Amino acid sequence: MLKLSDVRKVFNAGKPNECIAVDGVSLSIEPGKITAFTGPSGSGKTTLLTLAGCMARPTSGRIWLDGREITSLPERFLTEIRRETFGFIFQQFNLIKGLTTLENVMLPAYPTGKKFSALRKRALELLDLFGLAQKATAQVEWLSGGEAQRAATARALINDPKVIIADEPTAHLDSHLSNEFMEIVQGLNRQGKTVILASHDPIVHESDAVTTIVMMRDGKVERVT
Amino acid sequence: MNRWIEKQKNIVDFTLSSLLRRKGKNIALWLVYTLIVFVLASVMFFTHALKREAAIVLQDAPEIVVQRVVAGRHEMMPLNYLEKLSGIKGVTGAKPRLWGYYFYSSAKANYTVMAPEGFGHKEGNVMIGAGVARRHMINKGDTMWFNAADGTALKFTIAAMLPTESELLSSDLILVTATDFRRLFGIPDGYATDLALTVRNPRELSTIAAKITSLLPDTRPITREEILRTYDAVFSWRQGIMLAVLFGALLAFVILAWDKASGLSAEEKKEIGILKAIGWETSDVIVVKFWEGAVVSLSAFAAGVLLAYVHVFFSSAVLFEPVLKGWSVLYPKFRLTPFVSAYQVTTLFFLTVIPYTAATIIPSWRAATVDPDAQVR
């Protein structure tokens, strides 16, 4: 489904603070599986995740999505791919403060031009699925860590994407909530969603649900198991 | 098409909730913006209305006014000068004028008193301007008392009010009969304040003025052009002050726009990054920011223009009064006739709304074209 070939990402190239975040990574990510990028802090997991999710362009190398080379696509097409193919769950959740939980969940679907009432219905269904129906009209800053995590997951699913991308999804959760999140991930995977996670939390990469573990160090893939 | 409409509706919905989220900041911004537009519009409305009033004043002004001068001071004009002036080639008519100023001590106001030809009311009757009526709180049928030059008290009945087409012209005006005028100021028959001449060909004005000076060396001819220049000097001086106010307001606006253009807050940048990351296009983000800017600037523009209209035309530009209205030029208080042209409003619109909206869009566009991961991390 996703194929990366000799992908390299350099930040601040040519400057004294140049940083090679991803260094010549070649990788295939199978559809319908749960893949976890793991490794120590600064190993390049998050950067690789953003490259795979079309949130950043590689400095060099190529990325294919379903056989289509996407590295050289204009920004407009990358946005479309982000919207239709990927659902993102960020480390800091990145819910927009001041908006309600319901509005946050609906947000990725606004540019699709779907009817507001239909969007609202789908968002409410998702919130209900994640046990947040009661919090639909609450502003997101009032949600607990676990609730914010589930709201972010609901938002990632609003456009019914094929791939769910989650960056350190359990970083702000206790063990119980982390396990709960992994159950949700497993459920999504059972529905046919491909899941890509970046995490150094053992609860994630030691979970039975994870099918492929990509171990990273210093921007390179150390091993794939 | 339906999808496009739904998309726009969704985006507008998000814009409105964005504005409400930053209520405090947006209200403060709106207030500053309204204040600046108010000052700019007030300056513009005031100067244009004043110029228009001046044009009305000059419309009926005689081509040449001849005054008698003794020791450099304006003196009463003997009426026998009329014959000599009427004889000058090119002069088609000469009429005596009776006018002067009366200081009404109890009202602490200086009024212009005139005895026009064809006054149309009997002796003992006067017509007064709106400013006089307001000052004395009097109306048609009421009476006014004046102290004549010989110390006697003269009683006048208000026969009618002057039309308010131009208050600049008529606000402080009191019209009386020639007999009452002479009695009030002690001017004997056979004298007038000055003489007004009409001329067949305006190009000959300077030639005729030269002839008047040589024929009657103790007189001073004042052409309409000279009056125009005096008015221009008066208005230009005032416009200079207004320009200073205008410059200040524009500077404030530039600072406001620059503040918007020079960058977004970290929170706003992050928000744009999130929107991009979850699938919003750069153009969607720009549309949101455009509407945010447009809602603030258009509503502030409308409020500022409306307030300026009320300020200039209903409260007599009360905030500018101490600077703009000299005691001797525009006294007593007058109200400008409302006059606003589409040109003025359009100019103001292009000076404020357009640059502000652009200033709102540019930093958002810059933020939206950066890879979303840079702002979301």
Name all domains of chain B by residue range, CATH numbers in brackets. Answer: 2-58+231-376 (no CATH), 63-223 (2.40.40.20)
Bridge-based pairing of strands A68-69 and A194-198 is unpaired
**A69 against B368, higher pLDDT:** A69
Task: Name the pLDDT band for B373 (thresholds 50, 70, 90).
Answer: confident
Please give the Cα distance from A208 to B220 (Å, whole number): 111
Please give the Cα distance from A86 to B105 (Å, whole number): 85
Q: Which two tokens stand for residue B335?
A: 């109200």
Please give the Cα distance from B40 to B46 (Å, whole number): 10
Which chain A residue has its CA at the smallest distance from B4's CA?
A113
Please give the Cα distance from B180 to A172 (Å, whole number): 96
Which chain B residue has its CA at the smallest distance from A52's CA?
B373
Place of tokens 């603030």: B296
Please give the Cα distance from B161 to B133 (Å, whole number): 8
Task: Name the pLDDT band for B167 (thresholds 50, 70, 90).
Answer: low
- In tens, the pLDDT along B183-228 reads 999 999 999 999 998 888 888 888 899 999 898 899 999 888 777 7
Can you give the pLDDT at residue B321?
Answer: 67
Task: Name the pLDDT band for B107 (thresholds 50, 70, 90).
Answer: confident
Can you give the pLDDT at residue A204?
Answer: 87
Preceding peptide of B332 cis, ω within 30°: yes
Report the Cα–Cα distance between both ends of chain A, in Å, rounded. Answer: 18
pTM (two decimals): 0.68
Nearest to B313 by CA among B45, B39, B37: B45
Can you give the pLDDT at residue B232?
Answer: 67
**B325 against B369, higher pLDDT:** B369
- Are the C-beta atoms of B335 and B166 separated by less than 8 Å? no
CA distances from residue B295 to A165, B275, B300, B357 in whole angstroms, order as listed: 36, 21, 8, 9
Task: Name the pLDDT band for B327 (thresholds 50, 70, 90).
Answer: very low
Can you give the pLDDT at residue B176?
Answer: 93
Can you give the pLDDT at residue A121?
Answer: 95
How buried is residue B8: exposed, middle or buried, by Cβ count under 10 Å (0-12/13-18/19+)? Answer: middle
Which chain A residue has its CA at the smallest distance from B281's CA?
A79
CA distances from residue B333 to B100, B172, B237, B326 in whole angstroms, order as listed: 19, 8, 20, 11
pLDDT at B235 over 80: no
Handedness of CA B19, B23, B29, B34 (dihedral sign): positive
CATH 3.30.70.1290 fits A2-224, yes or no: no
Please give the Cα distance from B131 to B144 (Å, whole number): 14
Sheet holding A19-29, edge to edge: A19-29, A2-11, A60-65, A68-69
- Cβ of A116 within 8 Å of Cβ of B6? The answer is yes
Task: Name the pLDDT band for B179 (thresholds 50, 70, 90).
Answer: very high
Please give the Cα distance from B239 to B234 (Å, whole number): 9
DSSP reduced 3-state for A7 = strand
**B250 against A52, higher pLDDT:** A52
- Cβ of A75 within 8 Å of Cβ of B369? The answer is yes
What residues contact B340, with CB distance under 8 A and at least 6 apart? B45, B48, B309
- In tens, the pLDDT along B18-50 reads 888 888 888 888 888 898 889 888 888 887 887
Can you give the pLDDT at residue A100?
Answer: 93
Helix H or strand E encompassing B309: helix B282-313
Task: Give bridge partners of residue B73 from the DSSP assignment.
Answer: B70
Contact residues, chain A, for B371 at CB < 8 Å: 50, 55-57
Please give the Cα distance from B323 to B244 (Å, whole number): 12
Contact residues, chain A, for B277 at CB < 8 Å: 55, 82, 88, 90, 94
Contact residues, chain A, for B282 at CB < 8 Å: 75-76, 79
Q: Which two tokens stand for residue B202?
A: 């305006």
- Cβ of A99 within 8 Å of Cβ of B6? The answer is no
Please give the Cα distance from B156 to B82 (Å, whole number): 31
- In tens, the pLDDT along B75-104 reads 899 998 888 888 888 888 889 999 999 998
In tens digits, what is the pLDDT along chain A, a chain of 225 residues? 789 999 999 988 888 888 899 998 999 998 999 999 999 988 899 999 999 888 888 999 999 998 889 888 888 888 888 888 999 998 888 899 889 999 999 999 999 888 999 999 999 999 998 889 999 999 999 999 889 989 999 999 999 999 999 998 888 888 888 888 898 889 989 999 999 999 988 888 888 889 999 999 999 998 888
Contact residues, chain B, for A78 at CB < 8 Å: none
For residues B138-143, give the mean pLDDT. Answer: 91
Q: What is the DSSP letter of A100?
A: B
Please give the Cα distance from B326 to B162 (Å, whole number): 23
- Are the C-beta atoms of B318 and B311 separated by less than 8 Å? yes
Interface of B with A (CB under 8 A): 2-7, 9-11, 13-14, 17, 21-22, 267, 270-271, 274-282, 284, 369, 371-374, 376-377
ipTM of the complex: 0.87
Mean confidence (pLDDT) of chain B: 83
Place of tokens 């106010």: B245
Can you give the pLDDT at residue B236?
Answer: 65
Q: How many alpha carbons lie under 13 Å from residue B293 in its C-beta half-sphere?
A: 23
Q: How far is A225 from chain B (nearest CA, A)?
A: 27
Helix H or strand E encompassing A125: helix A116-129
For residues B138-167, give the mean pLDDT. Answer: 87
- Are the C-beta atoms of B310 and B316 separated by less than 8 Å? no
Contact residues, chain B, for A115 at CB < 8 Å: 6
Contact residues, chain A, for B6 at CB < 8 Å: 113-116
Can you give the pLDDT at residue B260?
Answer: 67
DSSP reduced 3-state for B120 = coil
Residue spans of the domains in chain A: they are 2-224
Can you give the pLDDT at residue A113?
Answer: 87
Furthest C-alpha separation in chain A: 52
Place of tokens 């119980």: A176
